[in-house]
A and B are shown apart, each in its own frame.
Chain A
Amino acid sequence: MIELNLHKKLSTPAGEMDLHFECVLKAGSLTTIYGPSGAGKTSVLRMLAGLMQPDSGVIKVNNQTWFDASKGINLKPQKREVGFVFQDYALFPNMSVRENLEYALATKKETKVIDELIELMELGSLEKRRPDTLSGGQKQRVALARSIVRKPEILMLDEPLSALDQSMRSKLQDYILQIHKEYSPTMLLVSHEMGEVFKLSDEVVVLERGSIKQQGPPSLLFASRQVSGKFQFTGEILNIQKEDIIYIISVLIGNNLVKVAADEREVVKLAVGDKVLVASKAFNPIIQKIG
């Protein structure tokens, strides 16, 4: 169990912001911190990893204190058993894929873990390549594998998939789930992608301007707030167009463009760029195999 109580004054482009994050993570759970950019999500991860020092608060992992401002305890990142996947992957350019993984070993002899991870993440054919010759998705897989070599208690992923396209994303989400299944670390993920949150996490913490707005399972938070539809998707509004007396709203769901009709009262509340839930009930969807 991981208990977090973090306070930190952050200076952001929008001025000073008080970050206050109080949360308990169950061992082996997969929690997502969800929120707009600049909400302080990455800072939470960095404080848990020991890369940033909170102004005050406590971090306790399995009853072991990692940080306690009042007692002056602050474990170095080296002493905390965490894995961290950086947004820019942070692969070491001077080492091959295999050497990047081996670097993470505490002693040089445990190469079994490396072979296992190379197999699990399907990196066999890339083993000898340098990071600068890899694609974004491949780098991501290496970074993910490297973060788990030491079998950390906590694995943190900072917007792991934001730089990848949709199809690559869903594939990598599977890899993340596989890592979680195989090694069951407590995972903490930062994301602003609703689909990702749904697919990956047991628990969501919604962070806005430095404070927690909501917390709970994703289905409870995002989906069934007012709608009890059987058929529902989340997407982003790309365009709102007036046609005669109704409005046509174009919504991007995954990588499909969907047009939804709406009347004036509904449109007032919506704007381009909004995240929306598209739901429907009382008719039978038709399912057809393609290709």
Chain B
Amino acid sequence: MEWGPIILTFKLAFITTAILLVVSIPIAYWLASTKNRFKPVLETLVSMPLVLPPTVLGFYLLVAFSPSLFLGRFLNEWFGLKLVFSFEGLVIASIIYSLPFMVHPIQSGFANLPSSLVEASSVLGKSRIITLFKVLLPNIKPSLLTGLVLAFAHTIGEFGVVLMIGGNIPDKTKVASIAIYDEVESLNYASANAYSFILFAVTFAVLLAVYLFNGGYMKRFLK
């Protein structure tokens, strides 16, 4: 077993989760507060990765980012970004793939807050941005944490999308889930087990931490 794929997996998960947090808060806020008639369309798009086979998503991303087609060529020529079979491409794909896992908890967190909180804040002369950061976000911490952890764990567990768009390039796109598949293919069960066990243990620990925190158990321990 090598540490490369494990390190790469966590690097991917950290970067993806961080970007997702920034991207998801405005989307979730908009979805929770709007009555716009296009809301169902955006909601559907956000939720698609939940039901779509990862290979479908990976296939279309592969096509879209392909240097021989418009978007891929544009990104390559103007920004020097090569998104097929590269780490950057994996990050973009992971963001799309894990989007619902971050947006949904935050959206329901916002929706569960009484609307009078926003109204009270605006009557007190505070802008929407200040209201978001001082009133809304601090009151949905459990939802934020749930979103962060689900997106993180989901990115760690990615396989189909990564295989389609990233391939199997050591230290660039060979993440742990790919490495496991690789080792099993070559009948290397011991290293496959090592990778698997690490993913198993980490995922268990992360989820347990969330349930402890959100269930208020942590506070009892710390007292």
Contacts and interface: CB of A to CB of B under 8 A. Distances in A.
B116 interface: yes
Q: Is the interface of B mostly helix, strand, loop or mixed?
A: helix
Interface stretch (A9-17, A89-97, A108-116): A89-97
B129 to A, nearest CB: 12
Contacts of A149: 124
Residue of B122, B125, B126 most packed against chain A (CB within 10 A): B125
Interface in B27-78: none
Given A49-B123, A77-B123, A78-B126, A94 B135 contact: yes
A94 B114 contact: no
Given A88-B114, A92-B135, A94-B139, A78 B119 contact: no
B138 A90 contact: no
Interface stretch (A79-87, A201-209, A217-225): A79-87
Interface string B119-151: 111111111000000110011000000000000
B117 interface: yes
Contact of A82 (B116, B123, B126, B127): B123
B135 A86 contact: no
B116 A106 contact: no
B140 to A, nearest CB: 10
Given A92-B139, A93-B139, A94-B135, A150 B117 contact: no
A51 interface: yes
A26 interface: no
A284 to B, nearest CB: 50
B116 A104 contact: no
Interface residues of A, number: 23
Contacts of A80: 123
A78 B124 CA distance: 7
Interface string A50-77: 1100000000000000000000000011
Contacts of A7: none
Contacts of B117: 90, 92
B114 to A, nearest CB: 6
A77 B123 CA distance: 5
B114 A78 contact: no
Nearest to B134: A103
Contact of B119 (A84, A94, A106): A84
A59 B134 CA distance: 31
Interface string B98-121: 000000000000000010110111
B139 A84 contact: no
B138 A86 contact: no
A94 B124 contact: no
Interface in A132-163: 146, 149-150
A51 B123 contact: yes
Given A90-B114, A92-B135, A92-B139, A84 B120 contact: yes
Contacts of B123: 49-51, 77-78, 80, 82-84
Nearest to A149: B124
Contacts of B114: 88, 90
Nearest to B141: A94
Contacts of A88: 114, 116
Nearest to B125: A78
B124 A150 contact: yes
A78 B121 CA distance: 9
25 contacts: A49-B123, A51-B122, A51-B123, A77-B119, A77-B123, A78-B122, A78-B127, A80-B123, A82-B123, A86-B116, A86-B119, A86-B120, A87-B116, A88-B114, A90-B117, A92-B135, A94-B135, A94-B138, A103-B121, A103-B126, A103-B134, A104-B124, A104-B125, A146-B124, A150-B124
